[in-house]
Structure formats: structure tokens, C-alpha cells
């Protein structure tokens, strides 16, 4: 229940989230998916969270680890950080603090990016979550913002629908859905004329 609640909350913050309900499932997923951040409950069944953390560190995983535990004792925090976790949060916690810590760890795991992205008159500020075109502010939904950010990060290269689904949505999305096409239509409309997002048939989109 806690895992599902956290996942739902993070998705509302425009994050792509996968869920594993035990340590074995967590290790399986991390073996073929490079996550920016892993929110790791210390008391996982099958394979304990401590062991999951040890293996990830031993494998030199680039993922940042935020460990959750029922105990907030200093000794437990020191032990958790000693296992290789990047941050530690005791349950119960305030959700906005979890979001802030996940975002902070995500910034550490990602390559350094320019604070503001600019292309074709469009200016996107990830920190302020602000988009303007030719100086006029544009209000976007969280998914529209995430899609536009991926296109601008590509610096003119084509971004496939699969890549957009992977970055802006998560594994629960139907790969045959038209959600990318619909989001692209609304995004183009909001960005106005002349159109700056180009469709490359059979390949993807570029800005």
C-alpha cells in the first residue's frame, strides 16, 4: 500500500515510476533499467533492503538510493548510509519532503544541464518550471512540460515515441497508446505558430 501511494504521488509530480514489491523484484528491475533514483524500503521481503543496497553499490549502479525505514534512530541512519545509500528518510514522513529529496538526488544522478534550455524562440526553465516563447509565458500541463523538456534536451535530434513514453510516463502506460500524439497536438497548439515541433514519420519528433 505504501509503495503504491508513493508511486501515485510521484507520478502526480510528473515522474516516471516503476514499482517492485520485494527485494528480488527490485534487483531484477535494476539489472536492466538504469533508474535516476531508487526509493528503497529497508524492510523488504524476500531480499532485505540492506542486501539490495549492498548489491547495487557493489555493481557500481549509477542510481541514487533514498532509503526508507521505520526507525529514525541516529545509529540506524548511520548504518543505512554506511551501506551506500545516498539519503535516508524515516517513516512516517511528510510527502513533500520525499519529493524534494527525490528531486535533489535526481539532479545529482543526471549529467549537468544548462539551467535554462532555449531553442527556436522557446525558453524552458526546469528549475522554475517556466516556459516562454518570444517572451510570452505558456502554461503547460506536467506531461506537456516533460515532453517539451525531452525534445529541447535532444538539441534538434529526433526523439522517438518510445523514448518519450519511457521518460515522461512509466511502465504502466500502454505502448500502443496514442497519448504521445495527443500530448504533442496540445503542446503544438499552445506553442503557437509557426510550428517548431516537427514529426519525422515512422521515427519520432524533433524541435
CATH code for residues 117-206:
1.10.10.10
Query: d(Cα 55, Cα 61) in Å, to the nearest integer?
Result: 9
Provide the mean pLDDT of the chain: 88
Per-residue confidence (pLDDT) for residue 109, from 0 to 100: 66
Which sequence spans correspond to the domains of the chain?
2-107, 117-206
Residue 113 burial (C-beta neighbours within 10 Å; 0-12, 13-18, 19+)? exposed
Per-residue confidence (pLDDT) for residue 166, from 0 to 100: 81
Identify the residue with better confidence: 169 or 138: 138
Q: Identify the band that residue 72 occupies on the pLDDT scale cut at 50, 70 and 90.
A: low
Cell numbers describing residue 16: 516516471
| Domain 2-107 matches domain 117-206 at the CATH topology level | no
The superfamily in CATH containing domain 2-107 is Response regulator (3.40.50.2300)
Average pLDDT over residues 136-153: 92
- pTM of the complete model: 0.58
Average pLDDT over residues 80-108: 89
Amino acid at each position: 500500500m505504501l509503495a503504491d501511494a508513493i508511486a501515485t504521488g510521484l507520478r502526480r509530480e510528473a515522474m516516471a515510476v516503476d514499482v517492485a514489491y520485494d527485494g528480488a523484484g527490485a534487483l531484477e528491475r535494476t539489472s536492466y533499467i538504469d533508474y535516476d533514483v531508487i526509493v528503497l524500503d529497508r524492510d523488504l521481503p524476500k531480499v532485505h533492503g540492506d542486501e539490495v543496497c549492498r548489491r547495487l553499490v557493489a555493481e557500481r549502479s549509477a542510481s541514487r538510493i533514498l532509503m526508507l525505514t521505520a526507525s529514525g534512530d541516529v545509529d540506524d541512519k548511520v548504518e543505512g548510509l554506511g551501506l551506500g545509500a545516498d539519503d535516508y528518510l524515516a517513516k512516517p514522513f511528510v510527502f513533500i519532503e520525499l519529493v524534494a529529496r527525490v528531486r535533489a538526488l535526481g539532479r545529482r544522478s543526471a549529467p549537468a544541464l544548462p539551467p535554462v534550455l532555449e531553442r527556436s524562440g522557446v525558453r524552458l526553465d526546469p528549475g522554475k518550471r517556466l516556459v516562454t516563447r518570444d517572451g510570452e509565458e505558456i502554461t503547460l500541463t506536467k506531461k506537456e512540460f516533460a515532453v517539451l523538456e525531452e525534445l529541447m534536451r535532444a538539441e534538434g535530434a529526433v526523439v522517438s515515441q518510445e523514448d518519450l513514453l519511457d521518460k515522461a510516463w512509466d511502465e504502466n502506460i500502454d505502448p500502443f497508446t496514442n497519448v504521445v500524439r495527443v500530448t504533442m497536438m496540445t503542446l503544438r497548439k499552445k506553442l503557437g505558430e509557426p510550428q517548431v515541433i516537427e514529426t519525422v514519420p515512422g521515427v519520432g519528433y524533433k524541435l
